[in-house]
Amino acid sequence: MAARRKVALVGIGKIARDQHVPALAASPDWALAATVSRSGAIDGVESHTDFAAMLAARPDIGTVSLCMPPVPRYDYAAAALRAGRHVMLEKPPGATLAEVHDLQRLADAAGLTLFATWHSRMAHAVAPARAWLADRTVRTAHITWREDVRKWHPGQDWVFEPGGMGVFDPGINALSILTHILPAPVHLTAATLEFPSNRQTPIAADLSFSGGVTANFDWRQEGPQTWDIEVETDRGAIALRMGGNRLEVDGAEVAGENSIMGEYPALYAQMARLVETGLSDVDLAPMVHVADAMTLGRRVTVAPFDF
């Protein structure tokens, strides 16, 4: 077996602990060689608090995986690429489209891999849904993405700060699936965004797209969570449920898992293939829809929100 490649994990918070660390521990491709975080560390792994110091101290670590929120991520990614390291980005890949274009330019110029990950695209039922839709004509599609921000982002005020994207932080997962499975692209035509009176980003959004596609995102849902995409075509209907992990065709379940735990191992396997083959994978289509919603959206002020 080939030696595992060394990776440094940067930003040891909720998603690093929930998904990246277990995925790396089980990976045949990667060895977690160091972490960088101002306050977090992983037992048994060399830890740094300063990113530049880690890059200088560990030239043998060829890849960094960035798990901090989107606003600070560009500076870390650019520094890593300038230091000759391959870079894997959590979703959403940045705070703005232009900064991710710039990262792509840096990676291309240096012959390095940049992987803008979309973990929901790795959900169990997404590939079969994409294959099923490939030769059909979509009549309508509706996304219902309603979850509890207190459960998934406990105390994370950054989601309500500029660049935190608010309810689009989970909503972009739905858009990453939509843009991957639809056989033809769509574009946003209207949006209504609900902003808590004390916050900078929306807590709910209703979106309309060309091609009969609509979406409802809401971060105030307590109890059971809903992550559904329902698509009607010229020849039957499908529903993706559980964030893309279960698939129904004409009302009957045909594929699925209740767990999302396969998504991050699949991302790291893909990163290994990209590094091996010298390629990048940066698809900004989901983020274009979010930027368009922020551009075109009608603003409604709703009740203040506190964690």
Would you call 91 a catalytic residue per the annotation?
Answer: yes
Phi, psi of 138, rounded to the nearest 5 degrees: -80, 130
Work out whether 265 is an interface residue with ligand NAP (CB under 6 A). Answer: no
Work out whether 37 is an interface residue with ligand NAP (CB under 6 A). Answer: yes
Which residue matches tokens 């929306």? 202
Work out whether 305 is an interface residue with ligand NAP (CB under 6 A). Answer: no
Work out whether 38 is an interface residue with ligand NAP (CB under 6 A). Answer: yes
Q: Which of 3, 39, 234, 306 binds ligand NAP (CB under 6 A)?
A: 39
Measured distance CA(148)–CA(130) in Å, rounded: 28
Nearer to ligand NAP, 176 or 231 (CB): 176
Fill in the DSSP letter of residue 172: H
Work out whether 12 is an interface residue with ligand NAP (CB under 6 A). Answer: yes
Nearer to ligand NAP, 169 or 248 (CB): 169
Work out whether 169 is an interface residue with ligand NAP (CB under 6 A). Answer: yes
Q: Which of 4, 6, 13, 269 binds ligand NAP (CB under 6 A)?
A: 13
Q: And the tokens for 288?
A: 């274009």
Give the CB-nearest residue to ligand NAP: 13
Measured distance CA(300)–CA(307) in Å, rounded: 20
Binding mask 64-103 for ligand NAP (x = CB under 6 A): ---xxxx-x-----------------xx------------
Query: Which range, of 12-20, 140-148, 178-186, 232-240, touches ligand NAP by CB under 6 A?
Result: 12-20
Q: What are 299's strand-pairing partners?
A: 193
Nearer to ligand NAP, 11 or 256 (CB): 11
Measured distance CA(272)–CA(30) in Å, rounded: 8
Measured distance CA(213)–CA(208) in Å, rounded: 6
Q: Which of 4, 14, 142, 220 binds ligand NAP (CB under 6 A)?
A: 14
| CA angle (291 as vertex; 290, 292 as ends), nearest 5 | 90
Q: SS3 of 293, please?
A: helix
Q: Which 114-133 residues touch ligand NAP, going by CB under 6 A?
A: 119
Nearer to ligand NAP, 128 or 163 (CB): 163
Contacts of 177 (CB under 8 A, 6+ apart): 120, 121, 123, 126, 129, 229, 240, 244
Work out whether 286 is an interface residue with ligand NAP (CB under 6 A). Answer: no
Catalytic residue among 6, 14, 91, 151: 91
Nearer to ligand NAP, 16 or 81 (CB): 16
Measured distance CA(259)–CA(124) in Å, rounded: 9
Q: Which 210-239 residues touch ligand NAP, going by CB under 6 A?
A: none
Work out whether 205 is an interface residue with ligand NAP (CB under 6 A). Answer: no
Measured distance CA(197)–CA(246) in Å, rounded: 36
Q: SS3 of 224, please?
A: coil
Q: Do 30 and 9 contact (CB within 8 A), yes or no?
A: no
Q: Do 107 and 114 contact (CB within 8 A), yes or no?
A: yes
Q: Which of 79, 130, 142, 152 binds ligand NAP (CB under 6 A)?
A: 152
Interaction site with ligand NAP (CB under 6 A) = 11-16, 37-40, 67-70, 72, 90-91, 119, 152-153, 156, 169
Catalytic (active-site) positions: 91
